[in-house]
Structure 1
Amino acid sequence: MGLAAGLAGCGTSGGNLFGGGQSQSPEAAAQPAPGVGSPVHNALFGQPVQAGPQALQENLCPRIEVRDGSNVWRQGGDGPTELRYQATITDLARECRIDGQTMIVKVGVEGRVLSGPKAEGSARLSLPIRIAVTRGLSQPIWSRLYTVPIDVPAGSPNVSFTQIEDQVAFALPPPEELQNYIIFVGFDTMAQPQQRQRGRQARRGH
């Protein structure tokens, strides 16, 4: 089920970009990223792009990974019997091109929402998904938070979702530095209290 995403906010900050996340493990860094032409890429974006003057070699496109500790979002109390809904990121893809001195990356995120024992009827969920580009593991280059709306029908055990962003853009670094860039994706759990607070302030203003 294709779902549009509303922009919740944007900006960069130091430190941990994802609430509840941890530093990337060496094992995760060694895993190859899904590239143009892979099954994941084709599922999210369609067929591979044709080679052209702006097309990049696979090794020049920053790798894409789920930030450690940010691949799961849940709603409900503690413990499996209190779970209402749980969302998980299942697949990622990215596609890079160069426009002058700017690198533009198209990022695709695919996931699934599971209904837990405490799910009640139909529900509209808002998943806080952050896409961020860093130099190394922690130096922020670009970051944006999205609120992805998900409708879960009554009695549905699971629902899939897709988020695609085609304007991840940053200044093109020298090739020797580009290999240190990483595109991180994950649920930003720390953003939710801020969103609720903004909502309460808006209601008080009316």
Structure 2
Amino acid sequence: MLFCLSNSRFFAGSALVGLMLAVAGCQSSDGVLGLGDNKAVKPNTGTETGKVTASSLRAYCPNVTLRDGTAYYNTYGRGGRKAASDDSGDPLTQDDQNNSSNIIYQAAITNVTRDCTHASGTMTMNVAVAGKVVPGPLAKPGTITMPIRIVVMRGSEVLYSNLQQYKVQVSDMSAATQFVYSDANISVPEPETSNYQVFAGYDEGKTKAPPPRKKRVVRKKAPVKAAPAAPTTPKGSQTSISDIPR
């Protein structure tokens, strides 16, 4: 994909592809942001009987995973085909939003990591998300607000879920802006086995469909009633001058 900036700059699709490859290679990462040990912690299943030992649970820190479709976030403006062909002010359609010339900012999560502590029957986690914001054709210095959600699950049970509207100030229109978001106050029950899952990513919620266009109501004019004809005098009642007494 190639995006052409208004000042003749190009940010090539290779830059975005590089981000995506980085994301694909870091679906579960450890220690990259300095929050944990650089070596992944592999839970020890312990004894010959297959029981999980207390020491392995104290060392257990579940990996962070990016779900499909949650690693990228774009913001759009009124531009591209819509602006070139229609100044009516109607909401953007899906085709308009898919048009690359409509992009203001394009953000991608490039790495995730976590750190865990265990005390008093509780596991406390610090989950961090790192990424980049790339200016699009309609970009100008300002702030991008990104909806980032962190979820901790035990099987199908949600133990923790937090959506944060994270703001990043973008001032350089010629390069990507780096960001790091962290949720350091995640407290969940001490795991009894290594069955916890942690998810991080953008959460835009359900996409709202554009409101239907209002139909223009054409009011029909009421038919104009013809004026009533003036009353006529019967012929037999007409009076001539000779009939007037002198």
Give the TM-score category using the shorter length.
0.5 to 0.7
Match of 1:126 among 139, 145, 163: 145
Other-structure match for 1:68: 68
Match of 2:28 among 33, 44, 47: 33
SS at match of 1:68: coil
Other-structure match for 1:97: 117
How many angstroms does 1:157 deviate by?
2.9
Deviation per residue, 1:124-181 (Å, 9 max, x gap)? 1111100110123x4311001111111111524311110122111111131x2xx221
Please give the alpha-carbon distance, in whole angstroms, between the structure 2 residues aligned to 1:123 and 1:67.
28
**Preserved CA contact (<8 Å) 1:94 1:107:** yes
1:171 aligns with 2:186: no
Please give the alpha-carbon distance, in whole angstroms, between the structure 2 residues aligned to 1:170 and 1:106.
12
Which range is displaced more, 140-149 or 75-84?
A: 75-84
Other-structure match for 2:201: 186
Compare the two structures and name the one with the higher strand fraction: 1
Other-structure match for 1:197: none
TM-score (normalizing by structure 1): 0.63
Please give the alpha-carbon distance, in whole angstroms, between the structure 2 residues aligned to 1:109 and 1:191.
22
Match of 1:108 among 118, 128, 131: 128
Other-structure match for 2:158: 140
Other-structure match for 2:44: none
Q: Percent identity?
A: 29
SS at match of 2:98: coil
Report which structure shows greater RCO (CA 8 Å, sep ≥6).
1
**Preserved CA contact (<8 Å) 1:125 1:150:** yes
**Preserved CA contact (<8 Å) 1:128 1:192:** no
Radius of gyration: which is bigger?
Answer: 2
- Structure 2 residue runs without a partner (length 5+): 1-23, 39-54, 77-96, 209-246
TM-score (normalizing by structure 2): 0.54
> Partner amino acid for 2:109?
I
Q: CA distance change for structure 1 residues 113 and 191 in 2, over 3 Å: closer, same or farther?
A: farther
Please give the alpha-carbon distance, in whole angstroms, between the structure 1 residues aligned to 2:119 and 2:184.
13
**Preserved CA contact (<8 Å) 1:34 1:41:** no
Runs of 4+ in 1 over 3 A off after TM superposition: 45-48
**Preserved CA contact (<8 Å) 1:94 1:105:** yes
**Preserved CA contact (<8 Å) 2:36 2:115:** no
Which range is displaced more, 88-97 or 150-159?
A: 150-159
Please give the alpha-carbon distance, in whole angstroms, between the structure 1 residues aligned to 2:105 and 2:27.
30
> Partner amino acid for 2:142?
A
**Preserved CA contact (<8 Å) 2:27 2:112:** no
**Preserved CA contact (<8 Å) 1:105 1:166:** yes
Please give the alpha-carbon distance, in whole angstroms, between the structure 1 residues aligned to 2:181 and 2:162.
13
Q: CA distance change for structure 1 residues 141 and 46 in 2, over 3 Å: closer, same or farther?
A: closer
RMSD of aligned residue pairs (Cα, Å):
2.7
